[in-house]
Amino acid sequence: MIEAAFRGRLGSFDLDAEFRVPGQGITALFGASGSGKTTVLRAIAGLARLRDGRLQVNGETWQAGRRFVPPHRRAVGYVFQEASLFPHLSVEDNLRFGLRRSRSTARIGLNEVVDLLGIAPLFDRPTAMLSGGERQRVAIGRALLSQPQLLLMDEPLSALDRVSKEEILPYLERLHASLSIPVIYVSHDIAEVERLADTLVLMERGRVRASGPIAGLLADPALPLIHMPQPAAVIDGQVIARDARYGLTDLRVPGGVVTVQGDLGPIGRRRRLRIPASDVSLGRRAPQDTTILNALPARIEGAEETAAHQVVVRLRLGQRGEGAALLASVSLKSWDTLGLRVGETVVARLKAVALAAPGAAPELAQAPPAHTA
């Protein structure tokens, strides 16, 4: 468990942030620019000292009352927006520097880091010859080799172009799947957060508006996430069948089974689906004569009208709505014409299921197209 509470003033900024998140997996600190995300991260690292602070990381107290463990005594790895590698050292020597800094017995070794982050081809290169994405992979590797108890990442992808971002995300997903080190990940890119995070801490003007498992917060009508321009649901599932002939994988998700194009790995592997609301349509009956593969029963939990004459429908998979949260964006006209009601069970058709999963290939797998035959 990670328990943090920081109160104090920095210049004219008031911080009063408190949260309790699991001591494993990825926790995203998400919020608008200036909401205090970096300040919280710095306070966790001990780089900012708030007047009133409390911090416990998996049973160790780093700050409480007058106790304040100085930054160099906190086992944190810090990855910044722009990788600050030593320019005069090779990639290998930059990584070895991480190892030298660590005083504990190595939990993660150089070879494992090199494998996980695909660094072998870069090994002998001077850092000046690396792309932005490659530099960031080395910086993450160096942070991991310092044997942190906690990895702090401050917008690690925000300085990268879209292609480099897509290139590095699968490595982060792989780290997530392979390592047990908890990560606190600052971002203001919700798609990135939807892809990576297990837990979300939503920050607003120096305060924590909400925190908890990401799937619930994304679909919470009381929070602003569902009202953003492209709302999406995230659903974690497990591979239960693979069809080599058609190149399809079935994932069991809470309340149903989703068929996704592509090989998602062996039976039993956990994968994440990110399903934009705009890729889900609703009907009363299962579609006939259609190429669509995913038509799942779901119960309507609620509906929010948007300014753009759309309705974001909150659903839960399963006949009785016992499953995962799902969002559908339908036009106000369709909503009124069909006369759909809260509490009704409908058929949710998933047009495309973008996959965001640990160890995924760089490209996003797409579910088969939805046009009728």
Q: Which residues bind ligand ATP (CB under 6 A)?
A: 10-11, 13, 31, 33-39, 188
Structure tokens at 238: 């497990």
**Residue 201: closest CA among 320, 25, 321, 372:** 25
Structure tokens at 79: 């990855």
Cβ contact 313:303 at 8 Å: yes
Shortest distance, CB of residue 209 to ligand ATP, whole angstroms? Answer: 13
Structure tokens at 94: 């930059």
Shortest distance, CB of residue 47 to ligand ATP, whole angstroms? Answer: 10
* E strand map for 43-187: 52-57, 60-64, 67-68, 76-79, 150-154, 183-187
Shortest distance, CB of residue 113 to ligand ATP, whole angstroms? Answer: 27
Q: Which is nearer to ligand ATP, 13 or 246 (CB)?
A: 13
Integer angstrom CA distances of residue 9 from 16, 39, 211, 287, 357: 9, 11, 22, 57, 39
**Residue 169: closest CA among 367, 361, 348, 325:** 361
Kindly give the interhelix angle for 132-145 and 91-101, rounded to the nearest 10 degrees: 30
Q: Which is nearer to ligand ATP, 188 or 351 (CB)?
A: 188
Shortest distance, CB of residue 178 to ligand ATP, whole angstroms? Answer: 28
Q: Which is nearer to ligand ATP, 50 or 313 (CB)?
A: 50
Q: Which is nearer to ligand ATP, 217 or 357 (CB)?
A: 217
Q: Which is nearer to ligand ATP, 31 or 170 (CB)?
A: 31
Shortest distance, CB of residue 41 to ligand ATP, whole angstroms? Answer: 8
- Tell me which DSSP letter residue 368 carries: P
Q: Which is nearer to ligand ATP, 49 or 242 (CB)?
A: 49
Cβ contact 235:275 at 8 Å: yes
Shortest distance, CB of residue 23 to ligand ATP, whole angstroms? Answer: 23
